[in-house]
Structure 1
């Protein structure tokens, strides 16, 4: 799933009707509005929405358009630094997209805003056109009141739009940045000073140097000298929250690639313990990408000597329990994890076995063979993961633990891909039927059928191309895993082979309806290659497994 987050900040925090209209403008098809957070004192509102890249790009433009239409900067007053009506629009990669992808989105939006709305636009952070424009604070220096003068400085000519002052709208800053996490670690104290000491230990800036008498040490310029803290890309301070009955180390994680959340927690825990304190839990403020909890879950399972190739839900629960995320208030991943908030529908995959079989046996053409093939592939991958997990940690398997863990992790990933395809196959088939029901004289009918046919082919093709890897994983775990589970690995290989056969047949029947010969040939070549590879690997796997199992019977 490709997901991009956009977090526009608009210069309006008091007029509810304006805030509502601007936020609603972003809610184009494919976008989910996650949060609208107005501030009356700052006269500023932070709006958060997510979706696929193209939808988020369109939503961002519509928001900017509505914002500059309704917000008049000539009468704006507020405590927060700002440069325009729609002050800043950052794109943030969440899943399936890179920072480079977000930079492209930022540049596309900036160009369109400058051209169609005729307002100055600056690019910042990873999208910045020059080093001196990377920092948002530098672009905002002088704020709205100093913008007219700034625009006359060639060094601060806008990246897009006119280099002229537009009093009503000001300027807009657009960019790409990493995801920021607001995170608090709970301590068994109400002493703010103790919380600050832990905060100063871990934050990148550290604390001011002091001599033996406690006096601040000055550097060569007469400024206070600083002792850096332990963690890069971390800001932190101590405070007390009376309603929680504890002090917290309040942390901003500005680059999760540099300092992941679980590293911040572990480091805070170590420093607290050295100061005679106990960490009792922690709190994530706002929403968080799924990857943050998955990384934490794997980290703590490794620390326990447990396999990390477990279901996604187990990783999430391990992270929640270990980090103590429900100590001060319940942490519900369905509400707090961005990907889960989107609520992707999976009616078939969520059914009981009995309900799925009843639905399958009805007179409806979907679900059909494509969904069954995906389910078979998922079961094959699940068996590979199971055998690896059973073998991990057993006496005599110490030398292969890393390999077993890799097998389990990859098998879980493939299992999840196949599970998603159970519903995706039926959805694709339904869309093909919808396209075929269009009136014959509808000029869009042929293109709609072609697009739907390609999608209906790509889903089983994805299943087919994943099956050889499942078979190979089953072969590997059969060789190095717990031999009492050898038959499970063998069944996993058989299920993957059946999935490949079913998916191949679905690809072929769908391609027969595709008139684009070049596209048809290309897709068929991919299917032929994957089907041949699946049969080759399965033949070898079946021979290895059955020979071993049969020989054990003879013995």
Structure 2
């Protein structure tokens, strides 16, 4: 029923730049270029969709793809990419640093222009229903598309990861929103939802000690950390950065521990504020932040705001962008071309 709502609506107009939906699926493959390209090709074949960025991570064994376009075209591209991933990625063999529970681990829809978050929710639920019924993949709805408030948080859904899925799915409270409940699950489960813009961002430390990264993550993330008071009661201490989720991990390919963050609200915590918070917490532990890593794309405001923070008297946009890149250390691990990492620029490049 939900899929019919927009069949003859403005969402069918692939030339209307005022109606734009973004999809940022995360696939549990970051090492096999043939598999990655096959998934990308499934997206590119859909008219009205532009694949803006493909960001594979070897140690994480995960690839983040970013594409935009007319909403129904984006939903179709999302379905085709999930289908292709399910055919090529066997979760029974998959290993990597990043937490995961499915071949397409998570698939968020993000309204960019001309549509509301509620409209994206309807599309996300329709996509989830189709994935569950046609691909026989368990689907959990999250963020604003969640039908159960306990399922809004991706990390909560993903607890136990793929290895715990068969046992978890048998629990009544973890019956999937769509799709099967009986094994086997060679493609795992997929989390689908609608949300606001999110920045995936990692801060690099000059240490291999993952315990230090985890301690910094506890201090900066919104949920904070637990301590015992004098009476032995457990208390939750909030972290420094509202709207930030963070974990610590070690990336062998970089030879560095990282604080891996999802920044869910740039108005509450800009990227540069999260970076500085990590710097300060690292200093308390006797380690240094050596740079950072942006996963996927970020809107222009991220770079302008960071540039203004580090150089308050600068006004030229190009200079502010470069200042942000340098001060955040975004070129430490690999090349960083803002023309291919700023969302608005990528969209303009495709249109031009």
TM-score, normalised with respect to structure 2:
0.69
Distance in 2, matches of 1:236 and 1:168, equals 29
Gaps spanning 5+ residues in structure 1: where? 210-216, 348-555
1:112 lines up with 2:130 in the alignment = yes
Residue 32 of structure 1 and its aligned partner are, at CA, apart by: 1.1
Counterpart secondary structure, 2:349:
coil
Q: How many residues align?
A: 324
Query: Root-mean-square deviation (CA), in Å?
Result: 4.7
- Give the 3 Å change call, closer, same or farther, for CA 260–249 of structure 1 in structure 2: same
Please name the residue that 1:254 is paired with.
263
Aligned to 1:184: 203
- How does 1:300-379 map onto structure 2 within 5 Å? 304=313, 314-321=316-323, 324-325=326-327, 329=331, 331-344=336-349
Could you give the per-residue CA deviations for residues 86-128 of structure 1, whole angstroms, max 9, x where no partner exists?
3322223455554334323311211222233233322112211
**Secondary structure at 1:173's aligned position in 2?**
strand
- How many angstroms does 1:166 deviate by? 4.5
> Partner residue of 2:66?
49
**Structure 1 residue aligned with 2:86:** 68
Structure 2 residue aligned with 1:285: 294
Unaligned runs of 5+ in 2: 1-16
2:139 is the counterpart of 1:121: yes
Secondary structure at 1:46 match in 2 = strand
Structure with bigger strand share is: 2
SS of residue matched to 2:142 = strand
Partner in structure 2 of residue 37 of structure 1:
56
Structure number with greater CO (CA < 8 Å, separation at least 6) is 2
CA distance in 1, matches of 2:338, 2:113: 17
User: Are residues 321 and 239 of structure 1, via their aligned partners in 2, closer, same or farther at CA, if it must alter by over 3 Å?
Assistant: farther
1:457-496 aligned at under 5 Å gives the runs none
Identify the residue that residue 27 of structure 2 maps to in structure 1: 10
Greater fraction of residues in helix: 1
Distance 1:87 1:284, change over 3 A: closer
- Cα pair 1:82 1:143 within 8 Å, conserved: yes
How far apart, CA to CA, are the structure 2 residues paired with 1:174 and 1:226?
29
2:105 is matched with 87
Task: Please name the residue that 2:274 is paired with.
Answer: 264
User: Does residue 158 of structure 2 align to residue 157 of structure 1?
Assistant: no
Cα drift, residue 34 of structure 1 = 0.9
Structure-2 change in CA distance of 1:135 and 1:228 (3 Å): closer
Aligned to 1:19: 36
For the residue of structure 2 that corresponds to 1:318, the secondary structure is helix
Q: Find the aligned partners of 1:292 and 1:101 in 2 and give their Cα distance.
A: 26
Q: Per the alignment, do residues 98 and 283 of structure 1 end up closer, same or farther by CA in structure 2, a change over 3 Å counting?
A: farther
Say yes or no: does 1:100 pair with 2:118: yes
SS at match of 1:344: helix
Could you report, residue by residue, the CA deviation over 1:400-422 in whole angstroms, capped at 9, with x for unpaired residues?
Answer: xxxxxxxxxxxxxxxxxxxxxxx
Query: 2:66 is paired with a residue of what secondary structure?
Result: strand
Aligned mates of 1:71, 1:185 — CA distance in 2: 29
Secondary structure of the 2:51 match is strand
Spell out the pairing of 1:92-241 with structure 2 (5 A cutoff).
Answer: 92-94=110-112, 97-177=115-195, 178-184=197-203, 202-204=220-222, 218=229, 220=231, 223=234, 227-234=237-244
Shift of the 227–191 alpha-carbon distance from structure 1 to 2, 3 Å rule, reads: farther
What are the Cα deviations for residues 136-186 of structure 1, in whole angstroms up to 9, with x where unaligned?
343334544554454444433322234444544443221234412315389
| TM-score between both structures, scaled by the size of structure 1 | 0.47
User: 1:31, 1:59 within 8 Å by CA — same for their partners in 2?
Assistant: no
Contact conserved, 2:68 with 2:74, CA < 8 A, in 1?
yes
